[in-house]
Amino acid sequence: MNRLFSILIVFILASCADKPKKYSELSDSDFKHESAIVEKDTVYYKSAETANENQKFMELEQTDKAFMTNCRKVADSLISSNYSGFSIKNYTPKLLDKLIDLYNSDNLKCSQDSFVNSIGVAMGDYLVNKLNMKWVIVEDDYGREFGTTIEDIKYTNFPVNSVLKAIEQKREGSMQTIYLMNILTIKELTEKQ
């Protein structure tokens, strides 16, 4: 059975003649509404072109790696204590969505920061393992953030921020949608090379 998803995709492109807006300057009229079938699911999304925000990509430092190790331990505890037979070694984006739903319904005893960071790192690890992405630190006008990237096609996303948005906006199915949109976007960008 096909499931319907919606997600916001923003493509960050270098400035050109039409001078794209920065992400923070976008309005609803700047987005194009689209759909695609990915792994038998129909995904509805909106996309917009934004100006390059002068992002600086860096390797993870030891403190970043230690932080992520701790996040994985918290994620493992959240997964295994709520879903018998699952752990940090065998979860899916759909299972992470179920955890987000539990958190949004106030059925988990966990601080927002701890939950967002641990589930965000778990989601990023899933993308790294399944889609051959790489963890990086990205610094830009918005601050310093963990990202997953494929350098060859200049594609980056921010799984920790995605979890925060899923919570704040009470999104359902967000992690699965992000996974499917990554598959689609990586395929499209790879074909353009």
Domains (range + CATH), the chain: 53-192 (1.20.120.1090)
DSSP 8-state class, residue 145 = E
The residue type of 114 is S
pLDDT digits (tens, 9 = 90+) for 169-190: 999 999 999 999 999 999 999 9
pLDDT digits (tens, 9 = 90+) for 14-24: 334 467 787 77
Average model confidence (pLDDT) for the chain? 88
Cβ atoms 114, 99 nearer than 8 A: no
pTM: predicted TM-score of the whole model, two decimal places: 0.86
Q: How far is CA 7 from CA 43, 76, 146, 162, 171, in A?
A: 8, 26, 20, 10, 9
Integer Cα distance of 45 and 152 in angstroms: 24
Asked if the model's pLDDT at residue 137 lies above 80, the reply is: yes
